[in-house]
Each structure stands twice: as C-alpha cells, then as structure tokens.
Structure 1
Amino acid sequence: MAALAWLLIPLVAVLVATVWGSWAARTRATGDGSSLADYERFREAMQKSHSG
C-alpha cells in the first residue's frame, strides 16, 4: 500500500500542475473598451474647457 501512495503523489502533483497551468494561461477579458472611451471623452472635455 505504501508503494501505491508513492506512485499516487507524483500523479496528483502532475494533475494539480496541469489544472493550475491551464488556469494561469487562460484568456482574460481586459474590459478596457469602455474605460478607454471614457478617458477619451474626458480628454476632449478638458481640451474644450481650456481652449476658449
């Protein structure tokens, strides 16, 4: 039984590493589209208030 445990430990470690690796490499949505548009509107508003 001890030999089986020693064989299962690396197997479990490989499975955990595989799950962690796939989770870490996932594609993430940045959500920058709306914040960049907000920033552009802010810049335009600031330029209008200082230009005239």
Structure 2
Amino acid sequence: MAALAWLLIPLVAAIGAGLWGSWANRTRKVRSDGPELIGYARFREAMERERTGR
C-alpha cells in the first residue's frame, strides 16, 4: 500500500502541473491601453511644465 501512495504522489503532481499549464496558457481578453496611455501623456505634460517653469 505504501508503494501505491508513492506512485500516486507524482501522478497527482503531473495532473496539477497539467492543469496549471493549461490555465497559464489560456487566451486572455485583450484590454485596451487607453486609460493608461492617457494618464502617461498627462504625466509627461506635467513634467514638461515643471521643467519649463523654472
């Protein structure tokens, strides 16, 4: 019975690795970068104002 338990451990690990691999390679919904890019543009404008204001 102990030998069976030692054989089940790698089997369970392989199944877990397969599930994790399929989850990691799933197709994800593409998000738009609009808000992030708008925020970055505002940050750059603010930094330019700070630099020219001196």
TM normalised by structure 1 equals: 0.60
Partner of 2:26 in structure 1? 26
- The ranges of structure 1 where at least 4 consecutive aligned residues each deviate by more than 6 angstroms after the TM superposition are none
Q: Which has the higher helix share?
A: 1
Q: Percent identity?
A: 61
Q: Secondary structure at the match of 2:20?
A: helix
Question: Could you list the runs of 5+ residues in structure 2 that have no partner in the other structure?
Answer: 39-54
What's the CA shift for 1:7? 0.4
- State the distance in 2 between where 1:32 and 1:12 align: 38
How many equivalent pairs are there?
Answer: 38
